[in-house]
A and B are shown apart, each in its own frame.
Chain A
Amino acid sequence: MRRITSFARRALLATTLVATAAAGQTAPPIPAWGGALQPQDRDERGLWMMSSDDEAVLKDSRFLITDKPLNDYVRGVLCRTVGAERCGAVRLYIMRVPAFNASMSPNGMMQLWSGALLRMRTEAELAAVLGHEFAHYERRHSLAGFKQARAATDAAIWASFIPIAGLALSLGALQGFFLYNQAQEKEADLNGFSFVMQGGYRTGAFADVWERLIAEEDAGRVARGQKARGGRRSGFFATHPASAERMTYLRALARQAGDTADASTASHRAGLGPWYARFLDDQLKLNDFGGTEWLLADFARTEGWTGALLAARGDLYRLRGQAGDMAQAAGFYREALAKGHDDPETRRGLGLALLRQGQQAEGQAMLKAYLDLRPDANDAAMLRMMAGLPPKTATGPTT
């Protein structure tokens, strides 16, 4: 029964996608799975050996997130997307790096960076990124291209759109990164698209990812006094498909496919759990005011301006600290409190924003309120002094 269903689904996929002429692209049917890949020649064995070395480093990395619920969530999405058999070939590594990137090495090691998880709004978008990476792996793209590469990664493709990602092209021993050519990228897009469809996810998610990466990049550029690029050319090499072009053909494919499936927005946020706030905090500390402001607004489009998002926006303005920023920050913190946001850090932020504006009494009162809630905060000694309170211990502060 399962076999028939699967066959029927494939046939349906084939017929549905054969004629997506809108952008001259079609998503191919998913081929039969021949089991986890094995190296087949000397070059490939070499590539595997280097990948294994990299993986050994990754396993012990302090940047590796081993939290089981988060890993279970991402693996669950991957398995639903590519199917249980293919999923078994993947070893997943979620890394705490605040940049948009995902990659897969020829030996089955998949890396997903926390900056990518933060930027996905839905499970479907996560499925699109994971499906795309898996397609590179299954099509052996890393071998077909530059053989000196140590890991097949989409760093240049995914990440060139996010300015902060420039910092993060290598992790562990992964010094080299692989640049796929244009044809391979399209192939991975189309195969990945088929996976997303097989998984029963909203296929428009693929184009959504590109659209938002373009918008975020432009927001960051404009805030830094540069011109918006509108995704018209890829960040690294003109030989790669421009993001605008990819967005267009992926959007056309999605329209053709009907695109009615579930995007699973709520489940994505639930899947991130407490990590959402941590990844957001990492982002706030990157001094990418324009990009982060855009991201927060983007989250607000999905979930509304929640207290948490308002408090984060307050932090963003306070950290920049330009003229007028403190008044803005105080406003956002107050809105967050008015919405019942009960994270004590909001009071700390508000107190500091008020003090920076010279509103001494009000700022000190707010810091006292914070210290009542967090008497053991790691900066309590400093804040007590700033709040006009006496030192807490008999020994007093270090001088």
Chain B
Amino acid sequence: MIRSLLISATLAATLAVATPALAANRLIVPNVSVAVAKSAMMVTADREWNKLGARPGPLAESWTLDGDVLNRLSFYGGLINGATLFREVDRKNRPLPKVRADMLPTDIPALFEQSYRIAENSGLFSVDSIEPASIGGASGVRFTYSFSKQGEDVARKGEAVAAMVGGKLWLISFEAPTLHYFDAGITSARAIMASVRLPAK
């Protein structure tokens, strides 16, 4: 545990990325269904997670196991036409791409990629696979991706499930450094993805 903490601390320091600590983090207890992303999306965790106080966007929420630079599970709850995945980082000069109600399954990873390239400075971002999947009973898409953030140079991997339901985007993504953390967290992340329940249209 101490060793793991040490590794976490060292990595965090190396990455020089501070966790925004504006709002308090909260413990997510296992086996209890909770509403996420200020929406009617319900998920159940199979182990303890920490809910981060800082949200990526108004209708989004992130959880972590060891700290958000080491593993991050994010929920986006019912983004409507014209919404952005993240809060705008520079609306005037670098606006984020907008959700469109008529997006096809393949448009979701494209929107995701563009948003990361802009908001996360992920000039090296690739969508590695896209396949059909169901999310909360809705027919949607599962995609995997890999990326690095500029100025950080850590190889990261991610996996997400998403669907357009009634013109709204629902999405859950898990990402972590390729080295150790992705494999360590993906099983629990997939279990949470499988537990999701979406509101009826």
Contacts and interface: CB of A to CB of B under 8 A. Distances in A.
Interface of A: 57, 60-63, 96-98, 163-164, 166-168, 170-173, 175, 224, 226, 282, 285-288, 319-322, 352, 355-356, 378-379, 381-383, 385-386, 397-399
Max count, chain B CB within 10 A of own CB: residue among A57, A172, A321, A355? A321
B121 A167 contact: yes
B124 A167 contact: no
Given A98-B123, A224-B92, A62 B155 contact: yes
Q: A-side binding surface: helix, strand, loop or mixed?
A: loop
A382 B133 CA distance: 9
Interface string B115-136: 0011001011001111111100
B131 A382 contact: yes
Interface of B: 90, 92-98, 100, 102-107, 110, 113-114, 117-118, 121, 123-124, 127-134, 141-142, 148, 150-151, 153, 155
B150 A168 contact: yes
Given A63-B153, A167-B90, A352-B104, 19 more contacts: A63-B124, A98-B123, A167-B121, A171-B150, A173-B151, A224-B95, A282-B117, A285-B113, A319-B97, A352-B106, A378-B127, A379-B131, A381-B131, A382-B141, A385-B105, A386-B105, A386-B106, A398-B142, A399-B132
B123 A63 contact: yes
Contacts, number: 114
Nearest to B103: A321
B151 A166 contact: no
A378 B130 contact: yes
12 contacts: A57-B153, A63-B123, A63-B150, A164-B118, A167-B90, A168-B121, A287-B94, A378-B129, A379-B127, A379-B129, A381-B131, A386-B105
B132 A381 contact: yes
A166 B93 contact: yes
Contacts of A224: 92-93, 95
Contact of B106 (A96, A98, A382): A382
A166 B131 contact: no
A399 B132 CA distance: 7
Given A63-B150, A166-B93, A356 B117 contact: no
Nearest to A114: B123
B153 A62 contact: yes
A57 B105 CA distance: 38
Nearest to B194: A399
A385 B132 contact: yes
Contact of A398 (B133, B150, B151, B155): B133
A354 B49 CA distance: 43
Nearest to B117: A285
A346 to B, nearest CB: 15
A139 to B, nearest CB: 28
B153 A60 contact: yes
A352 B102 CA distance: 12
A62 B122 CA distance: 11
A26 to B, nearest CB: 36
